[in-house]
Amino acid sequence: MGSSIGVGLIGLGTVGSGVVRLLRDAPAAMQRRQHLDLQLRRIAVADPAKKRAVDVAADLLTANAMDVVDDPDVQLVVELSGAAGAREWIAAGLERGKDVVTANKAVLAQHGEELFGLALANGVDLMFEASVAGGIPIIRSLRSGLVANEVESLYGILNGTTNYILTRMTRREGGYREILADAQEKGFAEPDPSMDVSGMDAAQKLAILCRIAFHTTGTGEDVYCEGIEQVDTLDIEYARELGFTIKLLAIAKRGPGGVQARVHPAMLPSESLLANIHDEFNAIEVVGSSVGTQVFSGRGAGQMPTASAVVADMVELAERKISGAGSAGGDMILDDGAASLADMSELEIRYYLRLLVEDRPGVLESITHIVAQGDISIASVIQKERDLQGGTVPLIIVTHEARERSMRQAVAAMNELDGVHEEVTVIRMEKL
């Protein structure tokens, strides 16, 4: 076998086929890597009889993922199935002393502690560059390129589907439901887009980045999460008038009460870099203590960008194995050094509020009274023209920095007022 590394693939869907293509075509940069010889030895697929997008020898195929994990000629397991058994197969590969590459963010966000521990205990590595932001090498950058930094903050657009929808809403191409339906029809959004639009996909990715950058063990469920379902084109227009653009942001920062980790629609100054990341693109702005601000942007999904990240991990693991280097995953084990996630209610930030109010004396006073009681200072109030049919008008309030807990109480009280129609819309405003 010489110095060749036997590869076993679990899953030959879109990304798996991209990986097979890259191994076959081996770009020049890979060919120049001396001794690198990755040999595909086994592939698990749900249906071995199905016609494939790439040609693979029929005798490589099996319907049983454990055949891949157990194959003595496989030293490197690449799990790209997205199937329910993924955690078990990854764990089994590590327990058998095999290096593992996965793109499965849900498994890593939920079971990272256990799986990274298993890798270390077995002297192997679990790599996962493709799990966050597709082709952007953000994991590698945080783990090695920026290792000489304390990460101070991280702002990301980590979900392509929601960025695509918000971009088209910002271009005045329609409302949320209409654009989502169109995106589904064109195959740009999943038939079940709930993980994307609810923000949970981004929250899982943020949990993984937080483990590396801030040494937290929280899962996707521990990240405060709001999706884009309630974003209205009215808010996009009012944001534009104020000089802001609405994006679904994944934010992690150090604060007095621990590490803040949150995913929610946010207003960004329209001239900021992240406000200008359009369509399905992803981006991450990292502030490091030594390096200052760095911005990474690119394709966060899709066949070849994701395969590019998977193959980068495979090459690194193969070279490490060939050179006899041991496991390098110690940095992913937190033990007693784990930091805690901060309580969201302690957040201090500026807020944009949109209310639909009756246009009559005393309504504005009752609203400002509630705001003042919460010790919240108003930066500006804009009342739009009277809607002659309903007698109601949109009222926009922008606050100075206020505490999340106070703002929630104030909004709950506003929602109880007679003169306020519809639920108050609240959008946090980021400085950047």
In sequence order, the 6+-apart residues with CB closer than 8 A to the CB of 218 are 207, 210, 261, 341
Distances (CA, A) of 65 to 43, 59, 89, 355, 367: 8, 15, 7, 54, 60
CB of 300 to ligand HSE, least distance (A): 5
Q: Which of residues 122-151 bind ligand HSE (CB under 6 A)?
A: none
- By the 8 A CB rule, do 409 and 357 touch? no
Least Å from the CB of residue 17 to ligand HSE:
16
Is residue 255 classed as helix, strand or coil in its secondary structure?
strand
Question: Which of 161, 167, 392, 399 touches ligand HSE by CB under 6 A?
Answer: 161
Return the range that interacts with ligand HSE (CB under 6 A); candidates 60-68, 159-167, 265-273, 382-390.
159-167
Q: Which of 290, 291, 205 is nearest to 251 (CA)?
A: 205
Which residue, 166 or 286, has its beta carbon nearer to ligand HSE? 166
Helix, strand, coil shares, percent, the chain, to 5: 40, 25, 35
CB-nearer residue toward ligand HSE: 12 or 132: 132
- Per-residue exposure over 240-254, b if at least 16 CB sit within 10 Å of its own CB, e if not: eebebbbbbbbbbbb
Query: How does DSSP classify residue 42?
Result: E
Report, in Å, the least distance between residue 282 CB and ligand HSE. 7
324: left (phi over 0), alpha (psi -120 to 50) or beta: left
Pick the piece of the chain touching ligand HSE (CB under 6 A) from 117-125, 138-146, 147-155, 158-166: 158-166
What's the token pair of residue 310? 């998977």
Residue 104 in the binding site for ligand HSE (CB under 6 A): no
Report the catalytic residues: 205
The DSSP call for residue 228 is: S
Residue whose CB is less far from ligand HSE, 163 or 392? 163
Q: Which is nearer to ligand HSE, 8 or 300 (CB)?
A: 300
Q: Is the dihedral of CA 84, 333, 330, 103 positive or negative?
A: positive
Q: Which is nearer to ligand HSE, 22 or 166 (CB)?
A: 166
In whole angstroms, the minimum distance from the beta carbon of 423 to ligand HSE comes to 27
Q: Which residue's CB is nearer to ligand HSE, number 15 or number 40?
A: 15
Q: How far is the CB of 384 from ligand HSE (least distance, A)?
A: 34
Residue with smaller CB distance to ligand HSE, 227 or 300:
300
Give min distance, CB of 248 to ligand HSE, in A: 10
Strands, E assignment, 191-277: 224-225, 244-255, 258-269
Describe the crossing of helices 160-170 and 176-185 by its angle, rounded to 10 degrees. Answer: 130
Nearest approach, Cβ of residue 202 and ligand HSE (Å)? 8
Are 414 and 367 a contacting pair, CB within 8 Å?
yes
Residues 301-330 that bind ligand HSE (CB under 6 A): 301
Residue 129: name the closest of 66, 59, 212, 200 by CA. Answer: 212
Of the pair 301, 353, the CB lying nearest ligand HSE is at: 301
> Could you tell me if 329 and 126 are in contact, meaning their C-beta atoms sit under 8 angstroms apart?
yes
* Part of the chain binding ligand HSE (CB under 6 A), chosen from 23-31, 56-64, 155-163, 386-394: 155-163
Q: How far apart are CA 329 and CA 366, in angstroms?
A: 57
Distance in Å, CB of 161 to ligand HSE, minimum: 3
Q: How many other C-beta atoms are found inside a 10 Å radius of the C-beta of residue 186?
A: 8
Report DSSP state, residue 340.
P
SS3 (DSSP) at 128: coil
Which x/- pattern, by CB under 6 A, does the window 255-294 give for ligand HSE? ----------------------------------------
* Count of residues near ligand HSE by CB under 6 A: 7
Out of 75, 102, 104, 159, which residue is the one contacting ligand HSE (CB under 6 A)? 159
Tell which one of 8, 160, 218, 265 touches ligand HSE (CB under 6 A).
160
Helix (H) or strand (E) holding 347: none
What is the C-alpha to C-alpha distance for residues 16 and 68, in angstroms, rounded to an integer?
14
Binding piece for ligand HSE, criterion CB under 6 A, among 61-69, 156-164, 206-214, 349-357:
156-164
Among 6, 16, 300, 419, binds ligand HSE (CB under 6 A): 300
Q: Where are the alpha helices (DSSP H) in 263-334?
A: 303-323
Least Å from the CB of residue 127 to ligand HSE: 17
Residue from 79, 99, 129, 201 touching ligand HSE (CB under 6 A): that is 201
For ligand HSE, the closer CB: 239 or 283:
283
Residues in touch with ligand HSE (CB under 6 A): 159-161, 196, 201, 300-301
